[in-house]
């Protein structure tokens, strides 16, 4: 397998590249680069090679549908191509287009979401979502005075990245440990989180702990906003597919010898927040309720909906 594919898959697996949007762009860009440097001469061989490359990338992390959507929108023209040049060109163009559109979507979400933030708001965010941070940073850039509580997000502690990002954007930021979420929620007006996957029923799959944040917000009457590009919508869930929740190595949670032998460790990376705990999904197409997700999926898929079942 070509270096760019295996090194990108390894970067995603080991979380050197992380975040649902970033891994999707990395996958799409790796395929485009692979196609650009392809030295073979046979169309059928290229089709096989690109399918295998896509499989390797898809095997790196199982939960975020953004990766699946990024890869599939990059290779969508390959099967119907009648020349090697056309097949390669479609991968190069689609991969680059996906990455550009993905970055534009994050910027658009920032502009739309910032309108939901009022001067003086107290906010909370969880883990490290570039879409959610973009919204908060844009509101502050517009001159709104906000205060943000950011969770540590064990075990990877992506909250450290978040407080650095927010601090760089000039945001008044406070780091809290994950178990302080409910204590602090009584001070919070609005929650902004990202998304790894959104199902056809509007449920959210995001960093483990998100469901606790959203349930605590619901109890405290704080508004829950999910910042999600629409390529994080999972059309396959319309037809009964469930989302695989990634479990990672226990070495991320405990040090060797720290706990007695025989004690098990469970390290799920994501959790599911039911739609009833979500007020708004902020996308590049605008703000919608979780109940509107199904309609957007149907519209975006058009006739290709029939290929999914
Ligand atoms: P953006 C991350 O997953 C977090 O769960 C975050 O909320 C989500 O991706 C979306 O991130 P991980 O890769 O696409 O840290 O908004 O496991 O950056």
Which residue of 28, 107, 128 sits with most ligand 1 atoms within 8 Å of its CB, as the best mutation to test the pocket? 128
Ligand 1 centroid, distance to 257 Cα (angstroms)? 31
In this prediction, residue 2 has a pLDDT band, given cuts at 50, 70 and 90, of confident
Ligand 1 centroid, distance to 150 Cα (angstroms)? 14
- Output the pLDDT for position 303: 74
Minimum mean pLDDT range among 57-66, 97-106, 285-294, 295-304: 295-304
User: Is residue 77 a contact partner of residue 87, using CB atoms and an 8 Å limit?
Assistant: yes
Ligand 1 centroid, distance to 210 Cα (angstroms)? 11
The yes-or-no verdict on residue 180 having pLDDT over 80 is yes
Ligand 1 and 209: CB distance under 6 A: no
Ligand 1 atom closest to residue 228's alpha carbon, by position in its atom list: 16
Ligand 1 and 203: CB distance under 6 A: no
Rounded to whole angstroms, the Cα distance separating 126 from 192 reads 8
Ligand 1 atom closest to residue 24's alpha carbon, by position in its atom list: 14
- Output the pLDDT for position 214: 98
- Output the pLDDT for position 301: 86
Output the residue whose Cα is nearest ligand 1's atom 1.
129
Ligand 1 and 126: CB distance under 6 A: no
In this prediction, residue 307 has a pLDDT band, given cuts at 50, 70 and 90, of confident
Ligand 1 and 158: CB distance under 6 A: yes
- Output the pLDDT for position 112: 98
pTM of the predicted protein model: 0.95
Give the tens place of pLDDT for each residue, 202-260: 999 999 999 999 999 999 999 999 999 999 999 999 999 999 999 999 999 999 999 99
Ligand 1 and 290: CB distance under 6 A: no
- Output the pLDDT for position 309: 66
Ligand 1 centroid, distance to 41 Cα (angstroms)? 39
Give the tens place of pLDDT for each residue, 257-273: 999 999 999 999 999 99
Average pLDDT over residues 190-211: 98
Ligand 1 atom closest to residue 158's alpha carbon, by position in its atom list: 15
Ligand 1 and 150: CB distance under 6 A: no
- Output the pLDDT for position 236: 92
Give the tens place of pLDDT for each residue, 76-96: 999 999 999 999 999 999 999
Rounded to whole angstroms, the Cα distance separating 85 from 21 reads 29
User: Is residue 104 a contact partner of residue 284, using CB atoms and an 8 Å limit?
Assistant: yes
- Output the pLDDT for position 256: 94
The yes-or-no verdict on residue 1 having pLDDT over 60 is no
Active-site amino acid positions: 127, 196
Ligand 1 and 194: CB distance under 6 A: yes
Which residue of 20, 60, 278 sits with most ligand 1 atoms within 8 Å of its CB, as the best mutation to test the pocket? 20
Ligand 1 centroid, distance to 104 Cα (angstroms)? 17
Ligand 1 centroid, distance to 141 Cα (angstroms)? 23
């Amino acid at each position: 397998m070509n270096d760019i594919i295996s090194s990108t898959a390894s970067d995603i697996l080991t979380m050197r590249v992380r975040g649902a949007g970033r891994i999707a762009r990395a996958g799409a860009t790796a395929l485009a680069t692979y196609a650009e440097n392809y030295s073979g001469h046979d169309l059928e061989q290229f089709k096989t090679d690109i399918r295998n490359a896509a499989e390797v990338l898809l095997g790196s992390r199982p939960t975020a549908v953004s990766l699946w959507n990024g890869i599939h929108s990059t290779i969508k023209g390959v099967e119907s191509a009648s020349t090697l040049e056309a097949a390669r060109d479609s991968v190069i163009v689609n991969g680059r287009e996906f990455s550009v559109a993905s970055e534009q979507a994050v910027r658009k979400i920032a502009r739309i979401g910032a309108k939901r933030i009022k001067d003086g708001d107290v906010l909370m965010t969880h883990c490290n979502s570039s879409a959610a941070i973009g919204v908060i940073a844009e509101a502050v850039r517009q001159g709104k005075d906000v205060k943000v509580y950011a969770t540590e997000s064990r075990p990877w502690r992506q909250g450290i990245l978040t407080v650095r990002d927010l601090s760089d954007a000039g945001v008044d930021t406070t780091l809290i440990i994950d178990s302080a979420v409910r204590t602090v929620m009584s001070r919070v007006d609005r929650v902004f989180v990202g998304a790894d996957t959104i199902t056809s029923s509007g449920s959210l799959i995001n960093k483990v702990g998100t469901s606790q944040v959203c349930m605590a917000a619901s109890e405290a009457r704080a508004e829950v906003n999910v910042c999600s590009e629409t390529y994080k919508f999972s059309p396959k869930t319309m037809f009964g597919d469930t989302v695989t929740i990634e479990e990672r190595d226990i070495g991320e949670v405990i040090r060797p010898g720290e706990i007695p032998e025989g004690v098990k460790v469970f390290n799920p990376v994501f959790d599911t927040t039911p739609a009833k705990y979500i007020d708004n999904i902020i996308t590049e197409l605008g703000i919608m309720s979780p109940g509107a997700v199904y309609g957007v999926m149907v519209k975006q898929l058009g006739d290709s909906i029939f290929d999914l079942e």
